């Protein structure tokens, strides 16, 4: 399988270089290069205010960069953005459809906006595709978070876009609805739809084909989950204890020791991580033989890497 660098233009949905964007004196996106293959689900991670949404909008021509160039869906992001917009579906974090209209009426309204031929058939197909048929006449304002999310997705794909943008799409949605949503996203990607998604959920990031980590405008890491974890050079030990109190005490004791970059409690399990393996082992050595503690060298998680990068990042707010 070819890497993005080896892929020809027709295999790439997005191919951009040097994207830069400032608002006032604040540089929100700084010299970002990125390639996204067609049919790929590409996840964007980073703290709030890190430039995730701005980067996504730049990538697909919805926002004009101060510097940089490239293509999205084969169109120039600087000169052909109106053509790109017609092929993009954008699902915002906040539900933005009409709550006093039914599901069917909302979809019919969207079909009118896009001037979709045979609106009635298009609405029927979309209702079936997203399993909304039985609720078609229910008012949108009476739907639960999961069903509102499903309706929002339906409205984004009914004009058959080639690129789908998802901005924190499952915030406030229960785990079952989140899983069903992601199953649908993978089905759409299998059909050739390219998806860009910003998220704070590590399990969702792990379901993306590739991810990148942005921190205050800087692209710090990108690749598959395994590649991003490996590139961090992070090593992790997990320690369990019989007492929750001891875990909290231990967290304080090891946090200040040289070689320890991250200490993260998870109930009665503590993750102790560092980028220098020898120094990390020296740091935890005094605690290794303590009765009641069980130490195990473990694989760093994506969340461990996320915490490390947040710790190393510097806020550029001015």
In the chain, domain spans? 4-229, 235-299
Task: State the greatest distance between any 2 C-alpha atoms of the chain, in Å, as a whole number.
Answer: 73
Pairing of strands 262-266, 210-215: unpaired
Rounded to two decimals, the pTM is 0.87
Q: pLDDT at position 216, please?
A: 84
* pLDDT over threshold 90, residue 6: no
pLDDT, tens digit, 9 for 90 and up, residues 190-199: 999 999 999 8
Q: pLDDT at position 72, please?
A: 95
| Domains 4-229 and 235-299 are alike in CATH topology | no
- Within 13 Å and on the Cβ side, how many CA atoms surround 118? 5
Q: pLDDT at position 10, please?
A: 60
CATH T-level fold of 4-229:
Rossmann fold (3.40.50)
What does pLDDT average to over the chain? 90
* pLDDT over threshold 90, residue 228: yes
pLDDT category at 2 given cuts 50, 70, 90 is very low
* pLDDT over threshold 70, residue 5: no
- Of 6-20, 41-55, 68-82, 91-105, give the lowest mean pLDDT range: 6-20
Q: Which neighbouring-strand residues pair with 69?
A: 17
Q: pLDDT at position 96, please?
A: 84
**If you count them, how many residues does the chain have?**
318
Distant-in-sequence, close-in-space partners of 148: CB < 8 Å, separation ≥ 6 = 95, 97, 140
The answer regarding whether domain 235-299 maps to CATH 3.30.70.860 reads yes
pLDDT category at 176 given cuts 50, 70, 90 is confident
Share of the chain above pLDDT 70, in %: 95
């Amino acid at each position: 399988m070819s890497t993005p660098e080896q892929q020809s233009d027709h295999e790439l949905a997005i191919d951009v270089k040097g994207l830069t964007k400032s608002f006032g004196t604040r540089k929100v996106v700084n010299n970002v290069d990125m390639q996204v293959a067609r049919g790929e689900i590409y996840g964007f991670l980073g703290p709030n205010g890190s430039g995730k949404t701005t980067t996504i909008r730049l990538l697909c021509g919805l926002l004009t960069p101060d510097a940089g160039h490239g293509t999205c869906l084969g169109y120039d992001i600087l000169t052909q953005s109106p053509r790109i917009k017609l092929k993009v579906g954008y699902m915002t974090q906040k539900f933005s459809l009409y709550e006093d209209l039914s599901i069917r009426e909302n979809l019919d309204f969207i079909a009118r906006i896009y001037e979709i031929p045979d609106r009635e058939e298009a609405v029927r197909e979309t209702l079936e595709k997203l399993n909304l048929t039985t609720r078609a006449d229910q008012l949108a304002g009476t739907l639960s978070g999961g069903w509102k999310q499903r309706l929002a997705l339906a409205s984004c794909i009914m004009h058959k876009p080639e690129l789908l943008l998802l901005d924190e799409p499952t915030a406030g949605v229960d785990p079952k609805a989140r899983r069903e949503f992601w199953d649908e996203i993978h089905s759409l990607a299998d059909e050739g739809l390219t998806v860009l998604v910003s998220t704070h959920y590590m399990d969702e990031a792990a379901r993306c084909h590739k991810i990148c980590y942005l921190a205050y405008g800087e692209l710090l890491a990108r690749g598959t989950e395994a590649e991003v974890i490996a590139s961090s050079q992070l090593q992790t030990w997990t320690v369990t204890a019989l007492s929750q109190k001891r875990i909290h005490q231990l967290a304080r004791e090891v946090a200040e020791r040289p070689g320890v970059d991250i200490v993260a409690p998870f109930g009665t399990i503590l993750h102790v991580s560092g980028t220098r393996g020898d120094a990390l082992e020296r740091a935890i050595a005094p605690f290794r033989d303590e009765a009641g503690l069980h130490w195990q060298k473990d694989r760093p998680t994506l969340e461990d890497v996320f915490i490390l990068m947040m710790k190393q990042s510097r806020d550029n707010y001015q």
